[in-house]
Amino acid sequence: MAESRQVDVARSMPPPCVPSAMESAVNPASQAFKTSRWSTDEVAPHERFDYYANALSSALVPMSLERPPAQEFTAEMVVGDLGGMAVVRQHGTAHRCFVTSRDLGRNQERSFHLLVNLRSAWNMEHRGRSRMAPGEAILTDSAMLWDIDIGADYEFVHLKFSEHWMRQWLPSPGSLVGRRIAMDSTWGRALSAFIAPLSPAVLQHSPLPVALIADQVGSLLALAGQDMGGTTTAPPRGRADHALLEGIKDCMRQLCTSPTLTASDVAGAVGVSLRTFHRCFQRFDETFGTTLTQMRCVHALRMLESPLFRRVGVGEIARRAGFCDASHLCRVVRARTGLTPGQVRSGERVPAFNPETAEEQP
Amino acid sequence: MNSNQLAAPILRWSTDAVPAQQRFDYFADALGSAIVPMHVDGAGRDRFAAHMSMTEIGEVAVVHQLGLAHRSYRRREDISHSGEDSFHLIVNRTNAWTISHRDDVRLAPGEVFIADSRYGHDLSVQDGFDIVHLKLGCAWARRWMPRPEAVVGRRIGAGSAWGPALAAFVAGLTPQSLASAGVPSTVLIDQVGAMISLVAAEMGGHAVEVPRDQVSLRIRIHDCMAQRCGEPALDAAVVATALRIDEPTVHAALAAAGETFTGLLTTLRIDVSIRMLRSRAFRQVSVGAIAERAGFPSSSVLARALRRHCGMTAARLRLDADN
Q: What is the pLDDT of residue B5?
A: 39
Q: Picking from A254-268, B27-41, B102-116, which range would have the lowest pLDDT averaged per residue?
A: A254-268
Give chain A's domain count: 2
> Residue A45 is part of which domain span?
3-227
- Which chain A residue is nearest to residue B293, measuring alpha carbons? A168
State pTM to two decimals.
0.70
**Are A240 and A222 part of one and the same domain?**
no
Which of the listed residues A227, A259, A285 is the one where a domain comes to its end?
A227
CATH number, domain with residue A248: 1.10.10.60
Distance from C-alpha of B44 to C-alpha of B50, rounded to nearest angstrom: 12
User: Do residue A205 and residue B210 have CB atoms under 8 angstroms apart?
Assistant: yes
Q: What is the pLDDT of residue B130?
A: 94
Distance from C-alpha of B23 to C-alpha of B40, rounded to nearest angstrom: 9
- ∠ at Cα A268 (A185, A230), nearest 5°? 25
- Cβ neighbours of A33 in B, within 8 Å: 220, 223-224
Minimum-distance CB partner of A189 among B168, B180, B183: B168
**Are A253 and A207 part of one and the same domain?**
no
Q: Residues B40, B31: contact at Cβ < 8 Å?
A: yes
**Are A238 and A220 part of one and the same domain?**
no
**Are A70 and A13 part of one and the same domain?**
yes
**DSSP H or E stretch at residue A65:** strand A64-67
Q: What is the pLDDT of residue A235?
A: 38
How close does chain A come to B33, measured CA to CA in Å? 29
User: Do residue B223 and residue A215 have CB atoms under 8 angstroms apart?
Assistant: no
Q: Residue B155 pLDDT > 80, yes or no?
A: yes
**Are A171 and A297 part of one and the same domain?**
no
Q: Is A9 exposed, middle or buried (0-12, 13-18, 19+ CB in 10 A)?
A: middle
Q: Residues for chain A: how many in total?
A: 362
User: Do residue A208 and residue B194 have CB atoms under 8 angstroms apart?
Assistant: yes
CA dihedral B115, B117, B123, B125 (to 10 degrees): 70
Interface test with A, best of B93, B195, B203, B212 (most A CBs within 10 A): B212
CATH number, domain with residue A157: 2.60.120.10
Which of the listed residues A163, A197, A227 is the one where a domain comes to its end?
A227
Q: A54 — phi, psi (to 5°)?
A: -65, -40
Most trustworthy range by pLDDT among B96-100, B281-285, B308-312: B96-100
Q: What is the pLDDT of residue B268?
A: 92
- Maximum CA extent, chain A: 76
The number of angstroms, rounded, from the C-alpha of A66 to the middle of its chain's C-alpha atoms is: 18
Higher pLDDT, B8 or B149: B149
Nearest to A176 by CA among A250, A235, A239, A241: A250
Alpha helices in chain B, H assignment, sequence order: 23-34, 76-80, 138-144, 163-171, 175-180, 185-203, 217-228, 236-243, 247-256, 261-277, 287-294, 299-310, 314-322
- Cβ neighbours of B183 in A, within 8 Å: 219, 222-223
Nearest to A244 by CA among A274, A281, A219: A281
Mean pLDDT confidence for B248-277: 89
Q: Picking from A96-105, B130-139, B144-153, B236-245, which range would have the lowest pLDDT averaged per residue?
A: B144-153
pLDDT, tens digit, for every residue of B76-90? 888 888 778 899 999
**Are A216 and A251 part of one and the same domain?**
no
- Cβ neighbours of A235 in B, within 8 Å: 284
Q: Residues A73, A40: contact at Cβ < 8 Å?
A: yes
* A–B interface: beta-carbon pairs under 8 A: 150
Interface test with B, best of A169, A170, A221, A227 (most B CBs within 10 A): A169
User: Do residue B284 and residue A215 have CB atoms under 8 angstroms apart?
Assistant: no
Q: Residue B228 pLDDT > 80, yes or no?
A: yes
**Are A65 and A157 part of one and the same domain?**
yes
Domains of chain B as residue ranges with CATH: 11-203 (2.60.120.10), 212-322 (1.10.10.60)
**Are A29 and A154 part of one and the same domain?**
yes
How close does chain A come to B183, measured CA to CA in Å? 7
pLDDT, tens digit, for every residue of B169-185? 999 999 999 888 888 88
How close does chain A come to B286, measured CA to CA in Å? 10
Q: Residue B97 pLDDT > 80, yes or no?
A: yes
**Are A223 and A238 part of one and the same domain?**
no
- Cβ neighbours of A19 in B, within 8 Å: none
Which of the listed residues A175, A208, A227 is the one where a domain comes to its end?
A227
- Cβ neighbours of B220 in A, within 8 Å: 32-33
**Are A9 and A108 part of one and the same domain?**
yes
Higher pLDDT, A39 or B206: A39
- Cβ neighbours of B216 in A, within 8 Å: none
For B304, residues 6+ apart whose C-beta sits below 8 A from its C-beta are none
Long-range contacts formed by A124-129: CB under 8 A, 24+ apart: A124/A148, A124/A149, A124/A178, A125/A98, A125/A149, A126/A177, A126/A178, A127/A177, A127/A178, A127/A179, A127/A251, A127/A254, A127/A255, A127/A269, A128/A178, A128/A254
Interface test with B, best of A183, A189, A203 (most B CBs within 10 A): A189
User: Do residue A223 and residue B294 have CB atoms under 8 angstroms apart?
Assistant: no
- Which chain A residue is nearest to residue B207, measuring alpha carbons? A205
User: Do residue A222 and residue B279 have CB atoms under 8 angstroms apart?
Assistant: yes
**Are A219 and A317 part of one and the same domain?**
no
**Are A208 and A240 part of one and the same domain?**
no
Q: Residue B6 pLDDT > 80, yes or no?
A: no
pLDDT, one tens digit for every residue, chain A (362 residues): 456 666 554 444 445 555 444 443 444 445 668 899 999 999 999 999 999 999 999 999 999 999 988 788 999 999 998 888 899 999 999 999 999 888 888 888 899 999 999 999 999 999 888 999 999 999 999 998 999 999 999 999 999 999 888 888 888 888 899 999 988 888 999 999 999 999 999 888 777 777 788 889 998 998 898 888 754 443 334 456 777 887 788 778 767 878 888 898 888 878 888 888 988 888 877 889 989 998 888 778 877 876 656 777 888 888 888 898 899 999 998 888 788 888 888 876 655 444 444 443 33
**DSSP H or E stretch at residue A39:** strand A34-39
- Which chain A residue is nearest to residue B230, measuring alpha carbons? A164
User: Do residue A189 and residue B171 have CB atoms under 8 angstroms apart?
Assistant: yes
Higher pLDDT, B211 or A171: A171
- Which chain A residue is nearest to residue B269, measuring alpha carbons? A168
